[in-house]
Amino acid sequence: MEWLARHPGDIHILAETERVRPSSIVDRDSLLREGSETAMSYVRVRYRQRVFAALVDAIRGPRQPFETFAELSLLAEKAIGETLEIAAHDALPPEEATRFAGKWSGGGETLPIAVLALGRLGTSEMDFASDVDLVFVMDAVLDSAEREPWRKIMERFSNLAASLTRDGILSPVDTRLRPRGTEGEIVQSSAYVSEYFRTEAAAWEAATYLKARPVAGNLRLGREVITAIHNICRQRFEDAAFCATELARTRERLDSEGTTWEQGRPPRAEFKKVAGGFYDIEYMLAFHFLTRGVAHGVTPGGHVLRQIAALESAGEVASGLTTSAAGTMRAGALLFRAVDHAIRIVTGHAVKGEPEASLAERITPMLQRWGGNLRGGVGEQLAEMRKQMLKLYEQTVVARKSSG
């Protein structure tokens, strides 16, 4: 109802029985001749309506959360490619824009730039109200002057994607996960990125880039950059004691940063950052990949369940992950993702803290429909799972920290 109050014209989507798979911009040249704003209006409206259709399907059921994540990730990828093409049309000379037309989403091996997705888009786990974490990497053969037009494209792209218009917003774009964060250039050469990870990157950055995948531009270049980063990080953090110490230090800081203190109320921990929460799963996966998995050919990638399955299938010798630990992590990932997803469906935004009783009651039917076994209620299930996850995290990471 909130959605339809903002966009009443989308009500026809409620009557659709079949979903049309998203395609490329229809008559791209005609749209661009009318101007970038006209083309972006088309992209925004179609993206908004397809996201709303995914929301309708998620509410009606029986779609599972990870199916919805996959669809939302596909929609975001398609919209990113189209918006990049519009940005290139604005920022490049006409002959250059024409030369690269239609290549931003299709592999684009003639393009000198790759767009890497991190975070939830990187693992194809986009959800309603998710931000998009992107990093832009150039071919190392281009010097700083040659990178300038492409920097303008990426800045234009970020503005187009994040602009709030009457047609809605595409998605906030967060580029702060690039090397050196906001102090680093928005477009960086592949050589610089590799050197940064070889000499400066922290363990949490290594963990973050385990989720990376190319989503637009030169996909081959993107895959090469990611492979190089993984190999460098494996060499830097393969010592279990060193890796555990570095990851645990960051995890402790996130736990404290994720706690809200309000006068007259008990401390409220942020849902994904709380001890025993989803971040513990991510840090345990990173530990297994960095210290053993990557060295034994276990490739990071895919959503969290696929990452767990890849490590488990490789065996304990190759990954360090036992079948028992994999089962605990899988159960925790399913519960945490399902609760977060249900809350986003009900409230329209990401969960901030533990769901209060009234909200827990509203999301319970969805969790049950998705196969959740809620003995004792949502709160009790979360508390029990966090207790198990914290114990496993302490055994996996904390216990292996170096004493120095």
pLDDT attached to residue 91: 87
Range with the lowest mean pLDDT among 28-37, 301-310, 378-387? 28-37
pLDDT (tens digit per residue) in 164-220: 888 888 888 999 999 999 999 999 999 999 999 999 999 999 999 999 999 999 999
What are the C-alpha distances in Å from 79 to residues 46, 148, 217? 9, 24, 13
**What's the 3-state SS for 275-308?**
CCCHHHHHHHHHHHHHHHHHHHCCCCCCCHHHHH
Alpha-carbon distance of 181 to 196, in angstroms, equals: 12
Banded model confidence at residue 264, pLDDT cuts 50, 70, 90: very low
Mean local confidence (pLDDT), 258-269: 51
Return left, alpha or beta for 315; rule: phi > 0 is left, psi -120 to 50 is alpha, else beta: left
Structure confidence at residue 373 (pLDDT): 75
Instruction: State the average pLDDT for the chain.
Output: 89
* Rounded CA separation 39/28 (Å): 8
Lowest mean pLDDT among 31-45, 187-201, 241-255: 31-45
What is the per-residue pLDDT for 261? 43
* DSSP letters spanning 343-361: HHHHHSS---SSPPHHHHH
Confidence of residue 259 (pLDDT cuts 50, 70, 90): low
Instruction: Quickly list DSSP for 201-262.
Output: --HHHHHHHTT-EEEEE-HHHHHHHHHHHHHHHHHHH-SHHHHHHHHHHHHHHHHHHTEE--
Check pLDDT > 50 for residue 157.
yes
Residue 18 has pLDDT above 80, yes or no: no
Predicted local confidence at residue 303, as pLDDT = 97
DSSP code, position 16: -
How far is it, in rounded angstroms, from Cα 2 to Cα 232? Answer: 47
Q: How many CB atoms lie within 10 A of CB 119?
A: 18
Q: What is the SS3 assignment for 103-163?
A: CCCCCCCCCCEEEEEEHHHHCCCCCCCCCEEEEEEECCCCCHHHHHHHHHHHHHHHHHHHC
The residues facing 118 across adjacent strands are 133
For range 46-63, the mean pLDDT:
91
Rounded Cα distance, 367 and 58, in Å: 12
Of residues 97, 89, 137, 86, the one with CA closest to residue 115: 137
Query: Is the pLDDT reported for residue 263 higher than 60?
Result: no
- Element (DSSP H or E) covering residue 189: strand 187-189
Q: Domains in the chain, please, with CATH?
A: 2-236 (3.30.460.10), 238-400 (1.20.120.330)
Contact 287, 307 (CB under 8 A): no
- Return phi, psi of residue 160, to 5°: -65, -45
C-alpha torsion sign, points 25, 169, 138, 300: negative
Q: Which has more confidence, 57 or 403? A: 57
- pLDDT by residue (tens digit) across 373-394? 777 789 999 999 999 999 999 9
pLDDT confidence of residue 120: 97
Is the confidence at residue 266, as pLDDT, over 50? Answer: no
Which of 6-15, 70-79, 136-145, 351-360 is predicted most confidently? 70-79
Among the listed residues 227, 222, 135, the one whose alpha carbon sits nearest the alpha carbon of residue 185: 135
Q: What are the φ and ψ backbone dihedral angles of 16, each rounded to 5 degrees?
A: -70, 135
What is the predicted pLDDT for the residue at 78? 92
